[in-house]
Chains A and B, each alone.
Chain A
């Protein structure tokens, strides 16, 4: 018996859309903090691309969304085990205890944990968060 896999029909867009800001008012290197009910989400513009992540640190729930943006130190096989500064402007540092998260992926540097990330799209000149 041959088993065939049929393509699933595309699901209708059921995610909630939340307008964050006008593109013109949200330049690269800045962020917008959004409170949706009691959920805090940080939306970042990094070099013209938008990234959204959960705004609380998984460690002790400090306001990660207000952490400063910087780079970080990396040292791995890719850098030939040399210590290098990298990811400038793409790392948010928790103001509580200094945990660092990659804004693009939500992954914590030096940990196996990550924070939830959300999709962001631009529609009709608006930056829109999809939840």
Chain B
């Protein structure tokens, strides 16, 4: 298993490995997760998730981390848009529902933002949450993100369309935080 890349207390971020396939397969199609992420709510078998891990390993536009909490696999987080000329990036995060409410998401996003601004020199970090997901909203507000706008009818969940609310923070706002 690869070494720790970022650490904050008992939460660590490390590169995603092929051995994480079973955890990721379970995570992305957990009913509480698949309804909140951008990815389509389709079943994913091990072979498909392995292919996904291969794709992200060669993706120059994004970075992906496996989140561990006290040594246990807890979730995934990523930054996309690194090849953007204006250095505007977007992050995503999913924590396994069995580990919700432990502050893992907040710690992870804080480390991720710091890394994005300080090591990758991005100008703006953006994130979105599907309406009715107060936990994600709180995580983004905690690092100083402001509401940017509402994308209407972003995802179809349980028979109805849901909006996504986009939040962002700019580099000078991050430095003055």
Chains A and B come from one and the same complex: no
- Give the A-binding residues of B (Cβ under 8 A): none
- Give the B-binding residues of A (Cβ under 8 A): none
